[in-house]
Structure 1
Amino acid sequence: MPYDAEDTRRRIFTAAAAEFAEKGLAGARVERIAARAKANKQAIYLYYGSKEKLFAAVLRARLEEVSLAVSIDPDAVAESVGQMFDWYREHPELIRLLLWEALEGGGEPAEDVGERRDGFRGKVQALVDRGAFDHLPGEADRVRAAQDLLFTLIGLIAWNFAVPGTCRVVLEEDTDEAAWSRRRATVIEAARVLASPRPALTGNARHVPEPGR
């Protein structure tokens, strides 16, 4: 059977994703990745250059996957959040990879920080363009509000899968399944409230509370 380079790359990538999610960058071993992939170490270095570059490639691909699979619909934010919740539940390795990056990155920005920022800018601008923050006076204010909303929604979703044990204990549920079911409904409702349109402010129509109120 002829050597299939693309299949080897896929097997290495899949094995690396599992290894990095379990062990992090520092704890991962090229030997274990090679064994999982039924490939040799030389192939890993040939296709990806180093363990660090392989980790970066895995994380970048997972972020692209969630971006393509689910996006925030400015007209249906709560429904989009429910879909994102389901995606993260089915792919908990992304949360673990992001946590490992934060723990082991030493505070240095990721090499693909520009690409990540551009992706989020598109989502933020979509929220602004659909009028989610028209009650704010200026474009810069609306952009900042959309950025805060997006990051808050990501946090509402991701924390459930970052600390599932704590989620279960706080909610006093017997299983992760029961806890996640409750949390999904709660997160969707929170997103609905956070994204609710507010009346536009015109002229000097802002309400200033009276002293003591």
Structure 2
Amino acid sequence: MAYDAEQTRRRIFDAAAAEFAEHGLAGARVDRIATAAKANKQAIYLYYGGKEKLFAAVLRAKLEEVRVSVSIDPDAVAESVGQIFDWYREHPELIRLLLWEALEMCDGPAESERERRDGFREKVRHLTDEGVAPHLPERARVRAAQDLLFTLMGLIAWNFAVPRMCRLVLDEETDQAAFARRRETVIEVARALAAAPDVFGAASGAT
């Protein structure tokens, strides 16, 4: 059978995503990734240049995946938030990767920080172009949209960052029951936030 380089890269990527989500950057082992991917360690270094660059590539790809899969529609914020909640529930590895990044790579800027910052700026432009806080001056509108975006991200992501705490606080027997409750609550809170742009206008320093 002919060697398929792209298939090998894909297997390495998938194995690395699982390994990093489980063990973080420091705890991940290249030999375990190679074994799971049915590849040799040299292929990992050849295709990705080492463990740190492989971690960065996995995180970048996962962030791009959520970016193209779901977005916040300014005219249907609550519905968009529900879709994003469902995406994170189906892909819990992204939250774990972001938490590992925060724990292990907080001393310096991430390799793809500029690219990620540009991506968030694009989302903010979309929100402002579609009429978020239209009564505010331009700078205040941008700040209000940034605050709205990050607030919604936190409202969604924290559920999956600490699922056990979610279940305990809500006094539910299973994660599934807790997530079902949280989904409805998150949607309603998002709807209320979208209907009250002055909250973010005040935070932006607008007068």
TM-score between the two structures when normalised by the length of structure 1? 0.91
Q: Does 1:135 align with 2:135?
A: yes
Instruction: State the match for 2:143 in structure 1.
Output: 144
Question: Which is further off, 99-108 or 87-96?
Answer: 99-108
Instruction: State the match for 2:177 in structure 1.
Output: 178
Q: d(CA) in 2 for partners of 1:118 and 1:195?
A: 23
Shift of 1:100: 0.2
Instruction: State the match for 2:203 in structure 1.
Output: none
Shift of 1:107: 2.8
Query: Structure 1: any 5+ residue segments left out of the alignment?
Result: 200-207, 209-213
Shift of 1:106: 3.0
Q: 1:198 to 1:160 in 2, by over 3 A?
A: closer
How large is the Cα RMSD of the aligned pairs? 1.3
Q: d(CA) in 2 for partners of 1:18 and 1:177?
A: 22
Q: d(CA) in 1 for partners of 2:26 and 2:123?
A: 33
Q: d(CA) in 1 for partners of 2:16 and 2:197?
A: 46
Q: Give the alignment of 1:1-213 within 5 angstroms.
A: 1-136=1-136, 138-196=137-195
Q: Which has the higher helix share?
A: 2
Q: 1:10 to 1:135 in 2, by over 3 A?
A: same
Q: Is the 8 A contact 1:20 1:28 kept in 2?
A: yes
Q: Is the 8 A contact 2:133 2:141 kept in 1?
A: yes
- Residues 82-133 of structure 1: per-residue CA shift (max 9 Å, x gap): 0000000000000000000000003311111111111111111111111120
Provide the identity percentage: 76
Q: 1:41 to 1:135 in 2, by over 3 A?
A: same
- Residues 9-68 of structure 1: per-residue CA shift (max 9 Å, x gap): 000000000000000000000000000001000000000001000000000000000000
Query: Structure 2: any 5+ residue segments left out of the alignment?
Result: 199-206
TM-score between the two structures when normalised by the length of structure 2? 0.94
Instruction: State which structure, 1 or 2, has the greater radius of gyration over its C-alpha atoms.
Output: 1
Q: Is the 8 A contact 1:156 1:187 kept in 2?
A: yes
Tell me the matched-pair count: 199
Q: d(CA) in 2 for partners of 1:31 and 1:142?
A: 49
